[in-house]
A = this chain, B = another copy of it.
């Protein structure tokens, strides 16, 4: 609809996930009216992203330096490694405040459909970490979907001979959800994973 520089911004924003044409237009006009440094800061941050983004040499999470903040934090429990698919899974787990160990980012999940095999993930690097360090538990936190389940099964088989505790996040009814509206697969998993409260 528009022309020139504003339309270029609208088009470029419209390609981002979760931003429709109306949001893109709204943001573009916001930027046009905003202070110069709002736009400059965003433009610079974007230009720097690909150049300067690095991955932690230990856990492969996105990082500012050679090692990420979590791996270089001595107060964390380095004997527990939580295996996740992507860097963006880490803050979700950090927000729970349930885990004080360290992470290992696989870089995706096994997916024969998309041609992603074990060699495309950082599984060899995980095995190296398990060899070097005094790791006692590996917690598999891949997503509870087909690819995540396949990855978890593969890892369990791979890690079971190593004498390390291997666990996986519980799958079941989400807290605050309504049993009546739970899908049958989630409900089935909740049954299979039920916890005994009183031993009979």
Binding site for B on A (CB under 8 A): 1-9, 11-13, 15-19, 23, 25-32, 36, 38-54, 62-65, 68-69, 86-88, 90-91, 94
Contacts and interface: CB of A to CB of B under 8 A. Distances in A.
A98 to B, nearest CB: 16
A3 B36 CA distance: 24
Contacts of A68: 3
Given A17-B27, A23-B18, A29-B87, A48 B5 contact: yes
Given A5-B45, A12-B42, A27 B31 contact: no
A113 to B, nearest CB: 18
Nearest to A21: B91
A167 to B, nearest CB: 24
B26 A88 contact: yes
Contacts of A43: 43-44, 46-47
B31 A46 contact: yes
A86 B50 contact: no
A168 to B, nearest CB: 24
Contact of A52 (B4, B25, B29, B54): B4
